[in-house]
């Protein structure tokens, strides 16, 4: 029994002395966001309307795809930059209804380095959006969410 205790003690000492803490690696922040990824022409591929009240109440019909019923797949939004800052935009609706009430103007972000909110502005008219995940932007997909009627409906533009 004494031999077993000594063997366990020696094995325990060897295990603990054999462990060394790893060196701390330097921290390098990574962001999938780059403002240059926003510049260009974006074609609408899908528009969904979500009823937030139905989601909260767990009703069966929570989301509706509006893309084909309103012919929204023809909409193109062109975003331009000037000195790495938001500049002008234009919207080509094709045969789709004019969802934003204007075809051109300026666009802005709440923070150029790490945006969360996105605005299309034409004189006194403004359309407010929330940007989707940066990873989708890195994969050439711009996701815009628009809340209407005090947060009861959400429109997702892909």
Does residue 27 belong to any structural domain of this protein?
A: no
In angstroms, the CA 33 to CA 136 distance is 10
User: Tens-of-pLDDT digits for all 158 residues of the chain?
Assistant: 677 787 777 777 766 666 667 777 776 666 667 888 889 999 888 888 888 888 888 888 888 888 888 888 888 999 999 998 999 999 999 888 888 888 999 999 998 888 889 999 998 899 898 888 887 877 888 888 888 775 555 666 65
Q: Kindly state the DSSP code that residue 35 receives in the 8-state scheme.
A: G
CATH of the domain at 111: 2.40.128
Distance CA 153, CA 138 (A): 27
Is 24 inside any structural domain? Answer: no
The verdict on residue 16 lying in a domain is no
Alpha carbon distance 60, 49 (integer Å): 14
| Residue 110 belongs to some domain of the structure | yes
Structural domains of the chain, count: 1
How big is the chain by its Cα radius of gyration, in Å? 26
In a domain, 76, yes or no: yes
Determine the structural domain holding residue 55 and report its residue range. Answer: 35-157
pTM: 0.72
């Amino acid at each position: 029994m004494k031999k077993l205790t000594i063997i366990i003690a020696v094995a325990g000492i060897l295990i603990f002395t054999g462990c060394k803490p790893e060196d701390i690696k330097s921290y390098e922040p990574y962001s999938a966001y780059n403002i240059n990824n926003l510049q260009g022409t974006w074609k609408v591929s899908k528009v969904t309307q979500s009823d937030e009240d139905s989601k909260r109440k767990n009703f069966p019909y929570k989301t509706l795809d509006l893309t084909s019923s309103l012919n929204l797949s023809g909409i193109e939004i062109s975003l331009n930059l000037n000195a790495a800052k938001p500049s002008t935009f234009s919207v080509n609706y094709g045969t789709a209804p004019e969802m934003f009430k204007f075809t051109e103007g300026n666009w802005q972000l709440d923070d150029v380095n790490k945006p969360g909110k996105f605005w299309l502005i034409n004189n006194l008219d403004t359309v407010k959006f929330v940007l989707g995940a940066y990873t989708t932007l890195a994969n050439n997909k711009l996701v815009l969410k628009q809340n209407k009627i005090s947060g009861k409906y959400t429109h997702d533009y892909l």
